[in-house]
Every structure is written in C-alpha cells, then in structure tokens.
C-alpha cells in the first residue's frame, strides 16, 4: 500500500490504473477506522482490481467546531489496519484539498432537507464538496459507503447524478459492536459506561419492531430513550426509505425505516433500522 498526500499524484495514479484497463474501488473515510470501514475496504478489494482509500477529516462538513476539534485522528494506526487491503491511501492536508475555501454549492432536494440536513445546516453541502472532488479525481467504478449514514448515501446518489460521474454508489450494511452499538469513529469518545449504555439504542429500535403501527413505534422509542438518563434524543423519524420523507403509517411507503440520533454526553450517535 502506498500513501499519497498530493492531489496531483492521486489524479495521476488513478489515471494510470484506468489506462491499464483496471477497475477502481474508492472508499472515502475520515479515518479513525473501525471494523465498519474495514468491511467496506474488503468489499472494495473483492470487487475491484485496485482500491483507493481516502483518509481526510473534512472540515467543511462539520457544523460544530467542537466536534471537528474532537474528531479522532489516528493516521498511523489507520494505515496499519488497512495494510495490504488497499493499494493507495490518499491522506492529504487540509491545505492540499482546500488551497482556497471551497465554493461549490449543491442542492440535493428533498433528501437533504430532513433529519441530518435540518439538524446540521451545511453538513451535506460539505459532504458533497469532498465526495464530489474525490469522485472526479479518482473516477472510480464503485464507491463504498456505510448504511449507518443512510441519508448521506441518498445525498451522494443525488450528487453522482448531478455530477454525471459513472461510479456506482455501493451501500454496505451497518457493522455492530458485540453489544449491538453501531460502529462509529465517535464511539471512541464514549466512556466505558457510556459505551455500554449506548447499546440500548439498537435494543430499543429492535424491540420497537414488535409494535404494529407508526404512532405506537414512535411513542415507544421516544419513551424508552427518555427513561435512560445518559441519553438526550435529538430526533427519531420514521420515513420512506427512498424519499426520506416522514410517514404516518406503513401504507405511506413501500419501505419504511426508523432514523435516530441520540446524544450520549456530548457524543452524537446515529443509527437506523428497517421496518418493512
């Protein structure tokens, strides 16, 4: 595996690979890698000739400066974890990616207006800025993202459509800790006690599947989360899995998912579940 820090070298290497007729898989990350990321990298390895991983804590997608400052940065151990599962790791500085402040302005329509889009103003534009640049620089056949950030995948599919790039956007299943907590780089900021308590998020969502309708599920999840003193619910939404618009009943959409965001102390965790 070779580490690349310059955009020019990244673009050259990707063009070389493509000229050799080889397929490219891209796994964009912000580092602090865990088994969830590694599952994306292994899948990219299995499905492509050459794998590029990017590690870049993208400042323009953070709407909270404290979250950006506290975001874990663990490049050396990330590189060790990747080992030979990737061919190239792009790990640039902020100045390399943004020599001048970015000016891209995206509008992703209804999929960005709800949930994370309304809770974190500017967040999805920031994701679009970096993912758009990576897709154009690397021009992969496939780009891999985790389903924990389900809304992000919907936004990236729309980004791909707007940019007219060929990459297939591949959605990979959530990987969970043995206690059920969805893996996230932010989990490193939890105390051991918070880590155990945070497992209740998934348990509550799983239990809610036993209830028959949307209002009862919403009430159950909200009440169960409120019972746990360490939790502060940001939102729990039940939505159409395609449009991400709220549903009031299972008849409102073919596929319905639940989307939750909970603060555990000052750590903001997200998770989701498929109902039908």
Would you please indicate which residues are annotated as catalytic (active-site) residues? 37
CA–CA separation, 178 and 63 (whole Å): 31
* Least distance to ligand PAF, CB of residue 27, Å: 9
Give yes or no for a contact between 251 and 245, defined as CB atoms under 8 angstroms apart.
no
* Least distance to ligand PAF, CB of residue 214, Å: 28
Residue 39 or 152: the one with the smaller Cβ distance to ligand PAF is 152
- Residues lying near ligand PAF in the complex (CB under 6 A) are found at 28-30, 58, 61, 127, 130-131, 149, 152
Task: Select from 20, 18, 24 the least CA-distant residue to 48.
Answer: 24
Residue 36 or 258: the one with the smaller Cβ distance to ligand PAF is 36
* Least distance to ligand PAF, CB of residue 87, Å: 18
CA distances from 66 to 18, 26, 59, 114 (A): 40, 29, 11, 23
Q: Phi then psi for 180, rounded to 5 degrees?
A: 105, -15
* Least distance to ligand PAF, CB of residue 223, Å: 30
Helix-strand-coil percent breakdown of the chain, rounded to 5?
45, 20, 30
Secondary structure, 3-state, 23-74: CEEEEEECCCCCHHHHHHHHHHHHHCCEEEEEECCCHHHCCCHHHHHHCCCC
* Least distance to ligand PAF, CB of residue 156, Å: 7
CA–CA separation, 68 and 58 (whole Å): 9
Residue 259 or 275: the one with the smaller Cβ distance to ligand PAF is 259
Q: Which two tokens stand for residue 24?
A: 């490219």
């Amino acid at each position: 595996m070779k580490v690349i820090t310059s955009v020019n070298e990244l673009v050259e290497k990707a063009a070389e690979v493509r000229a050799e007729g080889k397929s490219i898989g891209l796994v964009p990350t912000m580092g602090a890698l865990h088994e969830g990321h590694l599952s994306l990298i292994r899948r990219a390895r299995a499905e492509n000739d050459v794998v590029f991983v990017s590690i870049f804590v993208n400042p323009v997608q953070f709407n909270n400066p404290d979250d950006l400052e506290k975001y874990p940065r663990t490049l050396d151990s990330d590189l060790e974890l990747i080992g030979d599962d990737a061919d190239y790791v792009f790990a640039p500085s902020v100045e390399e990616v943004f020599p001048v402040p970015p000016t891209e302005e995206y509008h992703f329509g209804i999929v960005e207006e709800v949930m994370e889009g309304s809770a974190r103003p500017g967040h999805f534009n920031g994701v679009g800025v970096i993912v758009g640049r990576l897709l154009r620089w690397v021009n992969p056949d496939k780009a891999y993202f985790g389903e924990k950030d389900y809304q992000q995948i919907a936004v990236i599919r729309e980004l791909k459509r707007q940019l007219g790039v060929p990459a297939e956007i591949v959605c990979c299943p959530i990987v969970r800790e043995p206690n059920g907590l969805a893996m996230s780089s932010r989990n490193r900021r939890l105390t051991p006690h918070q880590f155990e308590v945070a497992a209740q998020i998934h348990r509550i969502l799983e239990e809610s599947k036993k209830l028959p309708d949307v209002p009862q599920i919403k009430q159950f999840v909200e009440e169960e989360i409120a019972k746990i003193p360490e939790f502060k619910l940001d939102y729990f939404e039940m939505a159409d899995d395609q449009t991400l618009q709220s549903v009031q009943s299972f008849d409102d959409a073919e596929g319905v998912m639940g989307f939750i965001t909970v603060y555990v102390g000052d750590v903001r965790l997200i998770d989701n579940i498929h109902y039908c």
